[in-house]
C-alpha cells in the first residue's frame, strides 16, 4: 500500500492512447541484447521463445552462476540471442550497469523526478 510522500520507482509500460493515460509498473525491466535485467524482482527466468528444455536449463544455470555479482533482489531473463552463449560476464551486461546508474540516480535525487541514466 502506498502512503502519502512515499517515493517509488516506476517504468512506463504502455504509452497513453486517446483519453486513456499511460500504464505504469513498478516492475522495471531493462532489455539488453542477450539478457533482460529486472532490478526489483528476485527471479531467474528464460524467454518463452526458447522451446528446448536442455537449452532453457543450460541458460538458467549460466545466469545463476553469473548472478552473484548483483544485488540479491535482481532478476535476469536470457533472450533467444543468448542461445550460442557459453558464459555470461556480469561486468559486461550494459542493462545491469544502466539499472545500477538509474537506481543510484533515483536514490540521490529530490523527488518527484524523472530520471534516465544512459
Domain count, the chain: 1
Is 9 in contact with 2 (CB distance < 8 Å)?
no
pLDDT of residue 100: 64
Is the pLDDT score of 91 beyond 50?
A: no
In a domain, 80, yes or no: yes
- Per DSSP, the chain holds a count of helices (H) and strands (E) of 2, 5
pLDDT of residue 84: 84
In a domain, 8, yes or no: no
In a domain, 118, yes or no: no
In a domain, 84, yes or no: yes
Name which of 69, 117, 110, 114 is nearest 95 in CA terms.
117
In a domain, 103, yes or no: yes
In a domain, 26, yes or no: no
Q: What is the pTM of this model?
A: 0.65
Task: Domain of residue 68: give its range.
Answer: 31-108
pLDDT of residue 89: 63
Amino acid at each position: 500500500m502506498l502512503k502519502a510522500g512515499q517515493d517509488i520507482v516506476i517504468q512506463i509500460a504502455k504509452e497513453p492512447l486517446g483519453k486513456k493515460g499511460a500504464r505504469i509498473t513498478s516492475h522495471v525491466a531493462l532489455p539488453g541484447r542477450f539478457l533482460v535485467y529486472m532490478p526489483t524482482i528476485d527471479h531467474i527466468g528464460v524467454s518463452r521463445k526458447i522451446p528446448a528444455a536442455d537449452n532453457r536449463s543450460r541458460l538458467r544455470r549460466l545466469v545463476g552462476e553469473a548472478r552473484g555479482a548483483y544485488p540479491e533482489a535482481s532478476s535476469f531473463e536470457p533472450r533467444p540471442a543468448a542461445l550460442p552463449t557459453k558464459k555470461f560476464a556480469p561486468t559486461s551486461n550494459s542493462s545491469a550497469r544502466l539499472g545500477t546508474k538509474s537506481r543510484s540516480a533515483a536514490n540521490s535525487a529530490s523527488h518527484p523526478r524523472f530520471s534516465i541514466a544512459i
